[in-house]
Amino acid sequence: MPTFVYMTRCDGCGYCVDICPSDIMHIDKTYRRAYNIEPNMCWECFSCVKACPHDAIDVRGYADFAPLGHSVRVKRDEEKGTIAWKIKFRDGREKNFLSPITTKPWGKYIPKLAEVPAPSKEMRDSELLFNEPKYIRLDDGDLYTLKAAGLKLKEGVYY
């Protein structure tokens, strides 16, 4: 369902323009507000809807297969770490859902790899990646190899 923008709610801030993965939310030059310039390249990903600070963006199901009279609204809250959905059916029924979007404060637990101890030469010459082998199994086990698994690669027809 392609997005559309309510005239009275949009103030032209451009958050949707900045985030749209398909580059289809643009600012209309006359009205100085955002709109969907290419609905048939919209994936209904809701990135712009979630990013809009004024709840000005909504979606209306694709005209070629979705009848009118429905709505799916969303509120994404980074502070609370939740996303809330409200689905309204054509016949008036409603469904509500709430899910977590993160378990930690934003970005705080992502390491800055420029500042961690540099890998040793032995590590560089191995097949290991950052934090490995520890993070593969979270025990003292090593990286899996064909040799340890008693396997080899052989040319031919095998199933």
Partner 1 sequence: MAYETIVEDNIDILVCGAGLGGTGAAFEARYWGQDKKIVIAEKANIDRSGAVAQGLYAINCYMGTRWGENKPEDHVRYARIDLMGMVREDLLFDMARHVDSAVHQFEEWGLPLMRDPKTGAYQREGRWQIMIHGESYKPIVAEAAKKSADKVFNRICVTHLLMDESKENRVAGAVGFNVRTGNYHVFKSKAVIVAAGGASMIFKPRSVGEGAGRVWYAPWSSGSAYGLLIDAGAKMTQMENRIVLARFKDGYGPVGAYFLHLKTRTQNCNGEEYESKWWPQLQEMVGKEYLDPEVSHATHRPIPTCLRNHAFINEVNAGRGPIHMITMEAFQDPHLEEVGWENFLGMTVGQAVLWAATDVDPKNENPELTTSEPYVMGSHATGCGAWCSGPEDISPPEYFWGYNRMTSVEGLFGAGDAVGGTPHAFSSGSFTEGRLAAKAACKYIDDGKAKGIRVSDKQIEDLKAKIYKPMEHYKIYRNEVVAGSVNPNFINPRQGLDRLQKLMDEYCGGVTVSYMTNEKLLNIGLKKMKALEEDMEKLAAEDFHELLRAWELRHRVLTSESVFQHTLFRKETRWPGYYYRGDVMKLDDENWHVLTVSRRDPKTGEYTMEKAPCYHLVGADE
**Of residues 13-72, those binding partner 1 (CB under 8 A):** 18-23, 26, 37-47, 59, 61-72
- Contact between 6 and 39 under an 8 Å Cβ cutoff? The reply is no
- Smallest distance, partner 1 to C-beta of residue 27, A: 11
Question: What b/e string do you get for 112-125 counting C-beta neighbours within 10 Å, with b at 16 or more?
Answer: eeeeeeeeeeeeee
CB of 81 to partner 1, least distance (A): 8
Interatomic CA distance for residues 83 and 97, integer angstroms? 8
Between residue 127 and residue 156, which ones bind partner 1 under the rule CB under 8 A? 127, 129-132, 135-139, 141, 143-147, 149-156
Residue closer to partner 1, measured from CB, 8 or 149? 149
Residue 80 interacts with partner 1 (CB under 8 A): yes or no: no
**Helix (H) or strand (E) run with residue 135 in it:** helix 134-137
The yes-or-no answer on residue 43 being catalytic is yes
Measured CA to CA in angstroms, residue 89 lies from 47, 94, 115, 135, 137 at distances of 22, 6, 52, 45, 45
Q: Which of 43, 62, 89, 106 is catalytic?
A: 43
| Rounded-to-integer distance, Cα 129 and Cα 75, Å | 37
Q: Given the complex with partner 1, which of 21 and 53 has the nearer CB atom? A: 21
| Smallest distance, partner 1 to C-beta of residue 29, A | 12
Token output for 21? 């993965």
Cis peptide bond upstream of 67, omega within 30: no
Pick from 79, 109, 120, 140: which binds partner 1 (CB under 8 A)? 109
Q: Which of 30, 114, 120, 140 binds partner 1 (CB under 8 A)?
A: 114
**Residues with catalytic roles:** 43
